[in-house]
Structure 1
Amino acid sequence: MAWFENKYRFDKSTIKIAHITDCHLFEDDTGKYFSVNTAENFQRTLNYLATLELDAIIFGGDLTQDHTTASYQLFAKLITESPLKAPVFWLPGNHDELQTLEEITEGQILGTKHIQLEGADVLLVNSKGHSPAGWCEKEHLSELQQVLLQSSEQVLVFCHHHPLPINGYLDKHILENGPELLNCLVNSGKVAGLIHGHVHNEYHYGYRAMSIVATPATSIQFSKCTEQWEQQNLGPAVRIINLGAQVYDSEVIWLDG
């Protein structure tokens, strides 16, 4: 089945989306990543999102830290038991396995990669490569190009990896053919912006006048502009996005801010 074949339709002209990413869960809810309980942070995030009037949540990848099936099951359990009611869409990160993600895709957790509303589209791109670095396969980019040709005039795109350098440690795990993806998006003349995770902090930059932003993690953050891996315990964060045919804005909210 083609990546973007299934569609989820909102019969409204604007939607409010939450982008959350990089929860790095373990097999149980006591697991810690750099001394931070990631399940607790994720649960706090879900509880916060439940207080907002959201239409959709997009999870941006790196669900698991220990690569256990139980960590995926914990993800699903925390969502199901939370007061959050909006559908949760996912895309894979470098830590994740597609097959295991698909195994927890039921009920509130949806595998759809093409979201439509009146006058706008949302596309979830697969940037998972064969190493921690990202890679978009040629066939995937070709399908993306065709979908963009048929889409509305306002499109918002999500992926996991950062497509351009951030001058930091995680540049060693960049989306290796990032400019190829970016040119595909910009050349369509329709993409309002690209939003990604992976870099564990907030970033704003651009490519050929197209906006690119990074959403911080729900787990831990990494210091900016450092050659070595430096952890910052800033608490979890989310990005809230308003999207419509003539609307695109977003802001990062730090839960401990």
Structure 2
Amino acid sequence: MAWFDDTHHFKKSRIKLAHITDSHLFADPQGQYFDINTAEYLKQVLQQLTQYEIDGVIFGGDLTQDHSVASYELFSLLVKRSGLSCPVFWVPGNHDEIQMLEQMSRGQISAAKRLCTNNLDILLLDTKGETPAGWCEAQHLKDTEAVIKSSEHKTIAFCHHHSIPINGYLDKHILENGPQLLNTLVNTGDVLAVFHGHVHNEYHSQFRGLDVYATPATSVQFTKHVSDWQQQDLGPAWRLVCIDGQNYDTEVVWLNE
């Protein structure tokens, strides 16, 4: 279970998590993704998080658009300058290189993949495949099941790719063995919800009673329920996840509202 060996303990029962995702940064801080300055939008989100007494930030993948080392360095710099004092965790997206994410992970940015409160566990999963579509390796599924069963607490999980179709263009890049992952989570009997990015908009669905939430991007959003790839500048957004004991509440926060 090497993926989950690094553990972070919050040592309390009530915490606030921010889920931010799909920043698509460039080496150039002025770089644009579909006419959006992605660094500026991420900067605005990080600054807003300082107003919420956040205990931890989970970055949901696709940090980079140009796959440069400098884009990861820019992410670290924006976190450092944001005023946030809480740890920042991550899962890999299809655009990311795990080695670069790991090299970035020192100090405030943590490589921990098992986060524990006094009453609930948070698992950060690896769905990065060889193509833009996601894939969970068989061993990773076994390790995920084992770490859930080893705990006496309920669990929520975060990953990059979506496992349930959204009736849109990005379904061509869905987690290819998504039902296998979701069945693994449901069959343990201890998983409350799974959160993901990748689809650049807000969605909520269920799989066998398991809540599945998509978080909008800090960059551009993708128009819902269209067969072609359409983008919308709706402003950046993020998801607040409040954990209280073995219960959670969640809402999406749009900076333009």
Q: Work out whether the TM-score is over 0.5.
A: yes
- Other-structure match for 1:51: 51
CA distance in 2, matches of 1:225, 1:118: 40
- Other-structure match for 1:15: 15
- Other-structure match for 1:221: 221
Equivalent residues in 2 for 1:149-188, closer than 5 Å: 149-188=149-188
1:10-60 CA distance string (max 9 Å, x none) = 111111100000000000210000000000000000000011111100000
Q: Which runs of 5+ in 2 are unaligned?
A: none
Alignment TM-score, normalising by the size of structure 2: 0.98
Q: Which runs of 5+ in 1 are unaligned?
A: none
CA distance in 1, matches of 2:246, 2:50: 26
1:179-201 CA distance string (max 9 Å, x none) = 00000100111111000000000
CA distance in 2, matches of 1:61, 1:152: 28
Alignment TM-score, normalising by the size of structure 1: 0.98
1:93-148 CA distance string (max 9 Å, x none) = 00000001111111100000000011110000000000000000000000001001
- Other-structure match for 1:130: 130
Deviation at 1:244, TM superposition (A): 3.3
What's the C-alpha RMSD, in Å, of the aligned pairs? 0.8
Determine helix, strand or coil for the equivalent of 1:18. strand
Query: How many residues matched?
Result: 257
Deviation at 1:6, TM superposition (A): 1.3
Say if 2:145 is the partner of 1:145: yes
CA distance in 2, matches of 1:246, 1:176: 30
Determine helix, strand or coil for the equivalent of 1:78. helix
Amino acid at match of 1:99: Q
Deviating above 4 A after TM superposition, structure 1's stretches of 4 or more consecutive aligned residues are none
Determine helix, strand or coil for the equivalent of 2:4. coil
Between the aligned residues of both structures, percent identity stands at 55
Equivalent residues in 2 for 1:54-65, closer than 5 Å: 54-65=54-65
- Other-structure match for 1:97: 97
Equivalent residues in 2 for 1:19-34, closer than 5 Å: 19-34=19-34
